[in-house]
Amino acid sequence: MAKPESMNIRLVQGEDVETLFEIRTSVKENYQSRQEIAKLGITPASVAKMLDK
């Protein structure tokens, strides 16, 4: 695991949204498909809109 002092942390940006969805839907534990999270109102468009606020 990386040491905290060697990590570069930044705020998420609009161009990160697709990568966030790829990561979220690739997990084994607590898995939800894009369709399942879309039913909850969580879509790339809704996340991008939240980032614009």
Q: Can you give the residue range of the structural domain that contains 30?
A: 12-51
Per-residue pLDDT, averaged over 25-38, amounts to: 96
CB 12 within 8 A of CB 20: yes
Banded model confidence at residue 4, pLDDT cuts 50, 70, 90: low
Structural domains counted in the chain: 1
By three-state DSSP, how is residue 48 classified? helix
What is the three-class DSSP state of 17? Answer: helix
- What pTM did the predictor assign? 0.75
Pairwise CA distance, residues 26 & 11, whole Å = 22
Q: Does residue 32 sit within a domain? A: yes
What pLDDT, on a 0 to 100 scale, did the predictor assign at position 19? 96
Positions of E strands within the chain? none
